[in-house]
Chain A
Amino acid sequence: MAVALTMAAMKVAVLRNSMNSQKAGLVVAGAVLGLILAGGTIAVAFVGDPNAGSVTGWHTGDLLAAAYAVWMLGWIFGPVFIGGGDETLRPEYFTLVGLRPRRLAFGLLTASFIGVAPAVSLVALAALVVFGVRVGSAVPVLIALPAVLLSLVVFVLLSRVATAVMGLALRSRVGAIAAGLSNGVILAALGQGWVFFVAFQQVGGIPPTASAILRYLPSGWGLIAVEAAAEGALPRAAAALAAMCLLIVLLLGAWAALLTRRTSAARPSVRGRRPMTAASAQGAVVAKELRTWTRDLVRNHQLTFALAYAVFFTSCMLFMGMNGLLPYTGAVFILMAGAMSANLYGTDGTVLWLTLMTPGASEVRGRQWAWLLTVGPVGLALTVAGAAITGGPWPLPLALTAALLGGAAGIVPLISVYALVPGIDPHRRGGNPLRSSEDDGSLTGLAYAVIGLGGLTGVPAGLVASSYGWPGVAVGIATGALCVWGLGALAESRLGSHGPELLQTMRTGKRAQSASARWKKFDDLPKRDQIIATVGWSLGAIPLFPQGIVAGVQKANGTTEKSWFLALHVPDPWGWPVVVFMVLLGIAMYGGALWVSYRPRPKEEAVAAAAT
């Protein structure tokens, strides 16, 4: 226990030391979002029919089981998506202390409970207690309390084991590809989850098979215990709790074993290598990039992930008997592959120094060609296959494929030099190959930016193709080529003019000082303003768009589906005031963030700021 407490204290110390205002703002924003989701889960415990079985309709137990399954999947796959999970304390730190694997695992596990995510999950799990109160007497509530705690331990342990397995999988090509496939499918399933709900809506509630499967998942065991207690089947309740304890012991053992594998060094590869046949500077860059795409297992994982995501994303509509999305599999793949490689220069790290020492070697162009050669053929093949299976339409998917390929090949290098997220140099990454940067939030933002901006590059071709057919393909090829050429040239010139600053950013992990005097650099803002800015930028969209504008549109259309729109839940005279309030709140949050970042300052102060 002493080890566990020491590690917990160590994590508190690390978190406190690394807590700057920007991080604090992100933590606050994350906590608010998490609490909204947790609140939603607790709300689920209040709706539906608490009594299981008998009649069709939405049962509270089924809904809770589904919600907890989503929470569990979030714990398992969240780290995969955002870059390696919580690595505040790394097992490598303790290799020389000589702890036995189980003690190490137990200590690290204890430290894992310190943070926002476990606290938020605990709130979400408290819905079990609410459910216990609804279904009956004191006994279900008494059973719910240990169930809540055990479920949290299971979530955290599953997350750690999943991350550790991923780390090991990424040491071999087969493992990297397998992990990419499964992660892609599951994330697509989470993203397309509404399909299942639409399907369930048609049959009037979650079908018994699905609700049984949801309960058999470890996330449902706590629920089983509470339901059993409500029925008076105490042995079954005890068995469910005991099963969770057993699972915890097994997971802890598995994690301990995985930790020892992680801290031992990977074997060097001794495979034969194909000789490099390039003969020009640009050819050399293409050859280097293509080799990196095939040899770097993290990039293998990214590509298979994008592939699996795209294929499942479009084909899961087949569950509803619709195949109309299949021709667009290629387009989805291209966007996802672009999002995955958004931090192109950041992931390579400080190797940029070589580019700086060899001016005029058309580095960006080489990378664009390599990206197109890697992603293009697969994307095109997916489009053609999808359109062939459904028998068309042909012009729109092909137009989008061409436009998005070029668009992404232009945007990826451009965004990676303009919004570089400093990463950890590849040779310093340690036992977790997924962790390419300390700044997960920015990486995720960059990925979304590529999806958003990349999607925009497909708009002209999409519009022409949907109105006039085949000419859209020509437009797609034209805008694609234009993006590759133009955005690439912009990236090239930025690299030329800001190369040393980008290298410095990567060396130190800090962004260079901004030249503008009116825009205050984030780090220069007072602490209070930093928190206002972070919370405003990251959460302002929620009241403004879904709760404000979308809710207003829904209300105007007289929609009966209330979903999570507050304005549709409140009694009638208050609906519109809530919409207006939400819109104003959103504008105020963005406005506040903008105001603290960019405020008119006296000229002397601006000059002084520029001089420092």
Chain B
Amino acid sequence: MTAALEIAGLFKAFGEKVAVDHVDLTVPQGSFYGLVGQNGAGKTTTLAMAVGLLRPDSGGARIFGADVWSDPDTAKALVGVLPDGLAMPERLTGREVLTYLGLLRGLSKDVVAERAGELLEVLELDSAENTLVIEYSTGMRKKIGLATALLHAPRLLVLDEPFEAVDPVSATTIKGILRGFVAGGGSVVLSSHVMALVEQLCDHVGVIDEGRVAAAGTLEEVRGSGSLEDAFVELVGASGAGAKELTWLSR
């Protein structure tokens, strides 16, 4: 079976600094894949290259067999993306953003209206009907971003830090949506540095450290007998034990 996402030999350097160093990852169809790593490890850069938002220096990515760079129309129709911290059409309301994007994706007007209404309701954005996106809180921005990723019913979701700054109630809602999506045969890749969350949601894990894949496989393979957090700290070689204390903070 073709992989939902296949990343082969991705390499990217910014000047002297190598951000992503020959990363290979395979996301099987129907899997819930967690990409973990420290800040600056190369998660965002890898995902941006995987979906065609950043041109790699070498290597490539295929979405359900369609090459992101040579066959972008097919590849990009199959994927929904939630990037971290990028702008939206700021002067539109949530419903208008979805209408605009649905039409750009080639959906019919009626289908767009129906899906937009449902997404806004499920993500609890319908109460802010007249609020422009620029006035949204960080959590609301994440939710409207997720809605844009889901709108065209993709078969693969690539989500960069989807739970950052999202309140617990909304997080539960989003988790429910994502689980349902995977249960229905969809595939999800998400990046996070919250190990507990990845452990709770994902069945596959990739650990990125300094631009390289430190470990990849099913959750059980990667974490072994301990917790994912222990395995992660061991893999990236950071000394979690014996953390220094701030002497002036304790009385």
Contacts and interface: CB of A to CB of B under 8 A. Distances in A.
Contact of A295 (B53, B105, B106, B132): B132
Given A288-B92, A503-B53, A360 B73 contact: yes
A427 B87 contact: yes
B99 interface: yes
B159 to A, nearest CB: 13
Interface in B68-100: 72-73, 76, 79, 81, 83, 86-93, 96, 99-100
A54 interface: no
Majority-rule SS of B interface residues = mixed
Contact of B53 (A273, A291, A353, A360): A353
Nearest to A348: B87
A348 B133 CA distance: 13
Q: Which of B72, B104, B109 has the most CB of A within 10 A?
A: B104
Given A353-B53, A500-B55, A273 B87 contact: no
A291 to B, nearest CB: 6
A295 B91 contact: yes
Contacts of B92: 288, 291-292
Contacts of A357: 51-53, 76, 79, 81
Interface stretch (A194-202, A275-283, A409-417, A588-596): A275-283
Contacts of B192: none
Contacts of A278: 99-100, 103
Contact of B103 (A284, A426, A427): A284
- Counting contact residues on chain B (CB < 8 A from A), the size range is 35 or more
B104 to A, nearest CB: 4
Contacts of A17: none
Contact of B100 (A273, A287, A500): A287
Contacts of B81: 353, 357
Contact of A350 (B52, B55, B87, B134): B87
Given A354-B148, A358-B76, A358-B104, A284 B130 contact: no
A357 B79 CA distance: 9
Given A348-B87, A356-B53, A361-B104, A269 B135 contact: yes
A273 B83 CA distance: 27
Given A268-B131, A354-B101, A359-B72, A281 B106 contact: yes
A224 interface: no
A147 B87 CA distance: 48
Given A285-B104, A354-B104, A358-B76, A503 B93 contact: no
Contacts of A283: 103
B54 interface: yes
A356 B52 contact: yes
Given A276-B99, A359-B76, A361-B104, A500 B53 contact: yes
Given A359-B73, A503-B53, A351 B103 contact: no
Interface string B1-27: 000000000000010000000000000
A291 B52 contact: no
A508 B93 CA distance: 27
- Counting contact residues on chain A (CB < 8 A from B), the size range is 35 or more
A51 B90 CA distance: 60
A349 B88 CA distance: 9
Q: Which of B73, B81, B91 has the most CB of A within 10 A?
A: B91
Nearest to B136: A427
B151 to A, nearest CB: 11
B130 A358 contact: no
A359 to B, nearest CB: 5
B134 A358 contact: no
A373 B163 CA distance: 40
A390 B59 CA distance: 66
Interface in B101-132: 101, 103-106, 109, 129-132
A508 B14 CA distance: 11
A281 to B, nearest CB: 5
A281 B91 contact: no
A244 B76 CA distance: 64
B164 to A, nearest CB: 15
A319 B14 CA distance: 58
B55 A426 contact: no
B55 A425 contact: no
Contact of B87 (A272, A351, A359, A501): A351
B54 A503 contact: yes
Nearest to B131: A268
Contacts of A425: 86-87
Contacts of A608: none
Nearest to A276: B99
Q: Which of A276, A348, A426 has the most CB of B within 10 A?
A: A276
B135 to A, nearest CB: 4
Interface in A421-451: 425-427
Nearest to B86: A350
Contacts of B79: 357
Nearest to A424: B87
24 contacts: A269-B135, A278-B99, A281-B104, A281-B106, A285-B104, A287-B96, A287-B100, A288-B96, A292-B91, A295-B91, A349-B87, A350-B87, A351-B86, A351-B89, A351-B90, A357-B52, A358-B104, A358-B105, A425-B86, A425-B87, A427-B134, A500-B54, A501-B55, A504-B55
Given A284-B99, A295-B132, A296-B91, 13 more contacts: A278-B100, A283-B103, A291-B96, A349-B87, A351-B86, A354-B88, A354-B89, A354-B148, A357-B81, A358-B105, A426-B87, A427-B133, A500-B52
Interface of B: 14, 51-55, 72-73, 76, 79, 81, 83, 86-93, 96, 99-101, 103-106, 109, 129-135, 141, 148
Interface of A: 268-273, 276, 278-281, 283-285, 287-288, 291-292, 295-296, 348-351, 353-354, 356-361, 425-427, 500-501, 503-504, 507-508
**Which 8 A-B pairs rank lowest in CB-CB distance, beginning with the nearest?**
A284-B103, A351-B87, A350-B86, A268-B135, A349-B87, A295-B91, A361-B104, A358-B104
